[in-house]
C-alpha cells in the first residue's frame, strides 16, 4: 500500500500501523511531479502499480453562484479535478510501462448528479471527475486498464452537519428542514 498525502496530514499514523507493507510519500495532488514521484517510488518499492485510488478532495465553502469566491473555486478544481487527472495519468502510464494493466478508482460524489445548491465548485468538480473517468475508461480499456468512479452517498458526521448547517443558513431554514430536504 502506498500512502500519498501532504506532510501535515495525519496519514503517518496509518503508515506506522501498516509497517513494512506500506510506503509513505509526501506531496500534493495538485502538483503533477509529486504524483509522478509517488508512482515512481511505488514501482521501485513494489515492482509495479496495479491499483490507484484517487481519493483526495475538498468541498470548499458553501455559497451562491453569483458570489462564489474565485480562489475557492480554483482550489476545489485543483484538488478535485487536477488531482484526479494527474493521479490517473501517472498510474496509467506506469501500468502501461509495466505491461500489467490495472484499475484506477476515482472518487466522485452523488453531488455530481444531485447538484445541491450553494456547492457550485464541488458539484462541477465531481461532474468533471465522472467525465474524466468515462473518457479514460474508453481510451485505456484496450491496455487492460479499468477506470471507474465511485460516488459515495450521504454520510452522517462532522462534514455532513457542517454542510447541512451551511445550506440551512444560506437559505434561512431550520437545520431539520434542510436536512430532510437533502435526504429526499
Instruction: State the DSSP code for 9.
Output: S
Residue 108 · residue 130 · CB < 8 Å: yes
Question: In sequence order, which residues have a C-beta less than 8 Å from that of residue 118 and are 6 or more positions away?
Answer: 62, 63, 64, 166, 167, 170, 171
Sheet holding 51-54, edge to edge: 51-54, 102-107, 145-150
- Residue 138 annotated as catalytic: no
Among the options 94, 108, 125, 126, which is catalytic? 126
Distance CA 28, CA 86 (A): 11
To the query of whether residue 125 is one of the catalytic residues in this protein, the response is no
Query: Of residues 28, 94, 122, 125, which has the active-site annotation?
Result: 122
Residue at grid coordinates 479514460 = 136
Q: Are strands 51-54 and 23-26 parallel, antiparallel or unpaired?
A: unpaired
**DSSP for residue 47:** S
Catalytic residue annotation:
109, 122, 126
Amino acid at each position: 500500500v502506498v500512502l500519498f498525502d501532504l506532510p501535515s496530514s495525519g496519514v503517518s499514523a496509518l503508515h506506522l500501523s501498516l509497517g513494512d507493507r506500506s510506503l509513505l510519500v509526501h506531496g500534493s495532488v495538485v502538483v503533477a511531479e509529486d504524483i509522478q514521484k509517488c508512482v515512481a517510488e511505488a514501482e521501485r518499492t513494489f515492482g509495479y502499480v496495479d491499483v490507484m485510488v484517487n481519493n483526495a478532495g475538498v468541498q470548499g465553502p458553501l455559497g451562491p453562484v453569483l458570489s462564489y469566491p474565485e480562489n475557492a473555486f480554483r482550489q476545489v478544481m485543483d484538488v478535485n479535478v487536477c488531482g484526479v487527472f494527474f493521479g490517473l495519468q501517472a498510474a496509467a502510464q506506469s501500468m502501461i510501462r509495466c505491461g500489467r494493466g490495472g484499475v484506477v478508482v476515482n472518487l466522485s460524489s452523488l453531488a455530481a448528479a444531485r447538484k445541491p445548491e450553494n456547492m457550485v465548485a464541488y458539484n462541477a468538480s465531481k461532474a468533471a471527475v465522472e467525465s474524466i473517468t468515462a473518457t479514460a475508461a474508453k481510451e485505456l480499456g484496450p491496455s487492460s486498464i479499468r477506470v471507474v468512479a465511485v460516488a459515495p452517498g450521504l454520510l452522517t458526521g462532522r462534514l455532513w452537519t457542517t454542510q447541512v448547517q451551511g445550506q440551512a443558513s444560506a437559505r434561512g431554514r431550520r437545520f431539520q428542514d434542510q436536512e430532510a430536504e437533502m435526504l429526499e
